[in-house]
Structure 1
Amino acid sequence: MYIGEFIKEVASTRETVRYYIEEQLLTPQKREGKYYFTSEDLADFMAVRELRALGLPIQLIKEINQNRKACGTKTQWQANLQIIEQELNRVQTEINTLTQQQNQLLDLQNQLRKKLS
Protein backbone atom coordinates (compact mmCIF):
# COMPACT_ATOMS: atom_id res chain seq x y z
CA MET A 1 0.00 0.00 0.00
CA TYR A 2 1.14 3.54 -0.67
CA ILE A 3 1.51 6.22 2.00
CA GLY A 4 -2.06 7.59 1.77
CA GLU A 5 -3.58 4.17 2.34
CA PHE A 6 -1.01 3.39 5.05
CA ILE A 7 -1.88 6.59 6.92
CA LYS A 8 -5.55 5.66 6.90
CA GLU A 9 -4.77 2.11 8.01
CA VAL A 10 -2.74 3.23 11.02
CA ALA A 11 -4.89 6.30 11.74
CA SER A 12 -1.92 8.62 11.84
CA THR A 13 -0.58 11.63 9.98
CA ARG A 14 1.73 11.95 7.00
CA GLU A 15 4.14 13.95 9.18
CA THR A 16 4.36 11.17 11.78
CA VAL A 17 4.95 8.49 9.15
CA ARG A 18 7.61 10.58 7.41
CA TYR A 19 9.29 11.29 10.76
CA TYR A 20 9.44 7.58 11.55
CA ILE A 21 10.96 7.00 8.12
CA GLU A 22 13.56 9.73 8.74
CA GLU A 23 14.38 8.15 12.09
CA GLN A 24 14.62 4.73 10.38
CA LEU A 25 11.87 3.26 12.51
CA LEU A 26 10.03 2.48 9.29
CA THR A 27 11.81 1.31 6.15
CA PRO A 28 9.26 1.14 3.35
CA GLN A 29 10.33 0.27 -0.17
CA LYS A 30 10.15 2.82 -2.94
CA ARG A 31 8.12 2.08 -6.04
CA GLU A 32 8.21 4.62 -8.84
CA GLY A 33 9.57 7.18 -6.38
CA LYS A 34 6.77 6.63 -3.86
CA TYR A 35 6.88 4.87 -0.52
CA TYR A 36 5.29 1.44 -0.55
CA PHE A 37 4.39 -0.14 2.80
CA THR A 38 4.09 -3.84 3.56
CA SER A 39 2.45 -5.71 6.41
CA GLU A 40 5.88 -5.73 8.09
CA ASP A 41 5.92 -1.93 7.98
CA LEU A 42 2.44 -1.96 9.49
CA ALA A 43 3.64 -4.19 12.35
CA ASP A 44 6.69 -1.95 12.87
CA PHE A 45 4.49 1.14 13.06
CA MET A 46 2.18 -0.49 15.59
CA ALA A 47 5.18 -1.56 17.71
CA VAL A 48 6.50 2.01 17.70
CA ARG A 49 3.06 3.30 18.62
CA GLU A 50 2.85 0.90 21.58
CA LEU A 51 6.27 1.96 22.85
CA ARG A 52 5.39 5.64 22.43
CA ALA A 53 2.18 5.02 24.40
CA LEU A 54 4.41 3.76 27.23
CA GLY A 55 6.18 7.12 27.12
CA LEU A 56 9.40 5.89 25.58
CA PRO A 57 11.29 8.55 23.64
CA ILE A 58 12.19 7.95 19.98
CA GLN A 59 15.89 7.47 20.83
CA LEU A 60 15.12 4.52 23.11
CA ILE A 61 12.76 3.04 20.55
CA LYS A 62 15.57 3.26 18.01
CA GLU A 63 17.85 1.36 20.41
CA ILE A 64 15.21 -1.33 20.88
CA ASN A 65 14.83 -1.53 17.12
CA GLN A 66 18.58 -1.99 16.71
CA ASN A 67 18.47 -4.86 19.20
CA ARG A 68 16.09 -6.68 16.85
CA LYS A 69 19.15 -7.80 14.89
CA ALA A 70 19.65 -10.31 17.71
CA CYS A 71 15.93 -11.11 17.66
CA GLY A 72 14.78 -13.73 20.13
CA THR A 73 18.15 -14.11 21.81
CA LYS A 74 19.31 -13.59 25.36
CA THR A 75 21.46 -10.71 24.10
CA GLN A 76 18.41 -8.89 22.78
CA TRP A 77 16.43 -9.48 25.95
CA GLN A 78 19.28 -8.25 28.16
CA ALA A 79 19.75 -5.12 26.06
CA ASN A 80 16.03 -4.36 26.08
CA LEU A 81 15.81 -5.05 29.80
CA GLN A 82 18.57 -2.54 30.42
CA ILE A 83 16.74 0.07 28.33
CA ILE A 84 13.48 -0.53 30.20
CA GLU A 85 15.18 -0.41 33.60
CA GLN A 86 16.82 2.90 32.72
CA GLU A 87 13.48 4.29 31.60
CA LEU A 88 11.83 3.06 34.82
CA ASN A 89 14.52 4.88 36.81
CA ARG A 90 13.90 8.05 34.81
CA VAL A 91 10.14 7.77 35.38
CA GLN A 92 10.63 7.19 39.11
CA THR A 93 12.81 10.28 39.34
CA GLU A 94 10.13 12.26 37.55
CA ILE A 95 7.45 10.88 39.90
CA ASN A 96 9.55 11.90 42.91
CA THR A 97 9.96 15.41 41.52
CA LEU A 98 6.24 15.71 40.82
CA THR A 99 5.39 14.40 44.29
CA GLN A 100 7.60 17.08 45.84
CA GLN A 101 5.93 19.74 43.71
CA GLN A 102 2.52 18.43 44.66
CA ASN A 103 3.39 18.53 48.37
CA GLN A 104 4.67 22.10 48.08
CA LEU A 105 1.51 23.17 46.25
CA LEU A 106 -0.67 21.46 48.86
CA ASP A 107 1.21 23.30 51.62
CA LEU A 108 0.72 26.58 49.80
CA GLN A 109 -2.96 25.79 49.26
CA ASN A 110 -3.38 25.12 52.99
CA GLN A 111 -1.62 28.34 53.92
CA LEU A 112 -3.88 30.34 51.62
CA ARG A 113 -7.01 28.64 52.94
CA LYS A 114 -5.99 29.44 56.52
CA LYS A 115 -5.52 33.08 55.61
CA LEU A 116 -8.98 33.17 54.05
CA SER A 117 -10.68 31.65 57.10
Structure 2
Amino acid sequence: MRIGQFIEEMKTTKETIRYYIDEKLMTPKKVDGRYEFTEKDKKDFKSIRELREMGLSIRVIKEIKKNKEFCDTKKQWESNLNIIDSELVKIEIELERLSNEKIALINAKKKLKNKL
Protein backbone atom coordinates (compact mmCIF):
# COMPACT_ATOMS: atom_id res chain seq x y z
CA MET A 1 0.00 0.00 0.00
CA ARG A 2 1.10 3.57 -0.59
CA ILE A 3 2.01 6.07 2.12
CA GLY A 4 -1.36 7.87 2.05
CA GLN A 5 -3.31 4.69 2.73
CA PHE A 6 -0.78 3.60 5.35
CA ILE A 7 -1.06 6.95 7.15
CA GLU A 8 -4.84 6.76 7.13
CA GLU A 9 -4.93 3.16 8.34
CA MET A 10 -2.34 3.74 11.08
CA LYS A 11 -3.88 7.10 12.08
CA THR A 12 -0.60 8.96 11.91
CA THR A 13 1.10 11.66 9.83
CA LYS A 14 3.40 11.68 6.85
CA GLU A 15 6.01 13.52 8.94
CA THR A 16 5.97 10.75 11.57
CA ILE A 17 6.39 8.01 8.97
CA ARG A 18 9.18 9.88 7.20
CA TYR A 19 10.92 10.46 10.53
CA TYR A 20 10.77 6.76 11.39
CA ILE A 21 12.10 5.91 7.94
CA ASP A 22 14.91 8.49 8.30
CA GLU A 23 15.77 7.01 11.71
CA LYS A 24 15.79 3.53 10.11
CA LEU A 25 13.06 2.28 12.44
CA MET A 26 10.95 1.41 9.41
CA THR A 27 12.28 0.16 6.10
CA PRO A 28 9.52 0.08 3.48
CA LYS A 29 10.57 -0.81 -0.04
CA LYS A 30 10.61 1.83 -2.76
CA VAL A 31 8.85 0.98 -6.01
CA ASP A 32 9.11 3.52 -8.83
CA GLY A 33 10.38 6.09 -6.34
CA ARG A 34 7.45 5.61 -3.95
CA TYR A 35 7.28 3.80 -0.67
CA GLU A 36 5.24 0.60 -0.61
CA PHE A 37 4.15 -0.53 2.85
CA THR A 38 3.54 -4.15 3.79
CA GLU A 39 2.10 -6.02 6.76
CA LYS A 40 5.63 -6.08 8.21
CA ASP A 41 5.70 -2.27 8.07
CA LYS A 42 2.36 -2.17 9.89
CA LYS A 43 3.74 -4.46 12.57
CA ASP A 44 6.90 -2.35 12.88
CA PHE A 45 4.87 0.84 13.17
CA LYS A 46 2.58 -0.64 15.82
CA SER A 47 5.64 -1.78 17.80
CA ILE A 48 7.19 1.69 17.60
CA ARG A 49 3.91 3.29 18.68
CA GLU A 50 3.61 0.89 21.62
CA LEU A 51 7.16 1.62 22.75
CA ARG A 52 6.64 5.39 22.37
CA GLU A 53 3.46 5.12 24.49
CA MET A 54 5.66 3.58 27.21
CA GLY A 55 7.68 6.79 27.05
CA LEU A 56 10.72 5.28 25.37
CA SER A 57 12.91 7.57 23.29
CA ILE A 58 13.81 6.98 19.66
CA ARG A 59 17.37 6.19 20.80
CA VAL A 60 16.10 3.43 23.11
CA ILE A 61 13.74 2.06 20.46
CA LYS A 62 16.70 1.82 18.09
CA GLU A 63 18.56 -0.22 20.72
CA ILE A 64 15.58 -2.54 21.10
CA LYS A 65 15.27 -2.90 17.34
CA LYS A 66 18.98 -3.71 17.11
CA ASN A 67 18.36 -6.57 19.55
CA LYS A 68 15.84 -8.13 17.16
CA GLU A 69 18.73 -9.82 15.38
CA PHE A 70 18.81 -12.07 18.46
CA CYS A 71 15.03 -12.54 18.30
CA ASP A 72 13.59 -14.86 20.95
CA THR A 73 16.95 -15.57 22.54
CA LYS A 74 18.20 -15.11 26.06
CA LYS A 75 20.58 -12.42 24.80
CA GLN A 76 17.67 -10.35 23.43
CA TRP A 77 15.61 -10.74 26.58
CA GLU A 78 18.52 -9.81 28.85
CA SER A 79 19.38 -6.77 26.75
CA ASN A 80 15.77 -5.57 26.65
CA LEU A 81 15.46 -6.18 30.39
CA ASN A 82 18.53 -4.00 30.98
CA ILE A 83 17.03 -1.27 28.79
CA ILE A 84 13.75 -1.39 30.73
CA ASP A 85 15.57 -1.34 34.08
CA SER A 86 17.53 1.72 32.95
CA GLU A 87 14.34 3.50 31.85
CA LEU A 88 12.64 2.66 35.15
CA VAL A 89 15.53 4.25 37.06
CA LYS A 90 15.13 7.40 34.96
CA ILE A 91 11.40 7.46 35.71
CA GLU A 92 12.02 7.07 39.45
CA ILE A 93 14.43 10.02 39.37
CA GLU A 94 11.88 12.10 37.47
CA LEU A 95 9.10 11.14 39.89
CA GLU A 96 11.30 12.23 42.81
CA ARG A 97 11.99 15.56 41.10
CA LEU A 98 8.29 16.10 40.41
CA SER A 99 7.39 15.18 43.98
CA ASN A 100 9.85 17.78 45.27
CA GLU A 101 8.41 20.39 42.90
CA LYS A 102 4.90 19.54 44.09
CA ILE A 103 5.91 19.96 47.74
CA ALA A 104 7.56 23.30 46.97
CA LEU A 105 4.44 24.52 45.15
CA ILE A 106 2.14 23.38 47.97
CA ASN A 107 4.32 25.24 50.49
CA ALA A 108 4.32 28.38 48.34
CA LYS A 109 0.54 28.13 48.04
CA LYS A 110 0.15 27.84 51.83
CA LYS A 111 2.35 30.89 52.38
CA LEU A 112 0.32 32.91 49.89
CA LYS A 113 -2.98 31.82 51.45
CA ASN A 114 -1.70 32.83 54.90
CA LYS A 115 -0.99 36.31 53.57
CA LEU A 116 -4.56 36.72 52.30
TM class by shorter chain equals: over 0.9
Which whole-Å CA distance do the structure 1 matches of 2:14 and 2:90 have between them? Answer: 31
Q: CA deviation at 1:44?
A: 0.3
Amino-acid identity (%): 47
CA displacement, residues 42-93 of structure 1 (integer Å, 9 cap, x when unaligned): 0000000000011100000000000000000000000000000000000110
Amino acid at match of 1:107: N
Which whole-Å CA distance do the structure 2 matches of 1:14 and 1:93 have between them? Answer: 34
TM-score normalised by L of structure 1: 0.98
Q: CA deviation at 1:104?
A: 0.4
- Greater than 2 Å deviation, 4+ residue runs: none
TM-score normalised by L of structure 2: 0.99
Q: Count matched residues.
A: 116
Matched residue SS, 2:26:
coil
Residue in structure 1 matched with residue 28 of structure 2 by the alignment = 28
Which whole-Å CA distance do the structure 2 matches of 1:60 and 1:68 have between them? Answer: 13
Q: CA deviation at 1:21?
A: 0.2
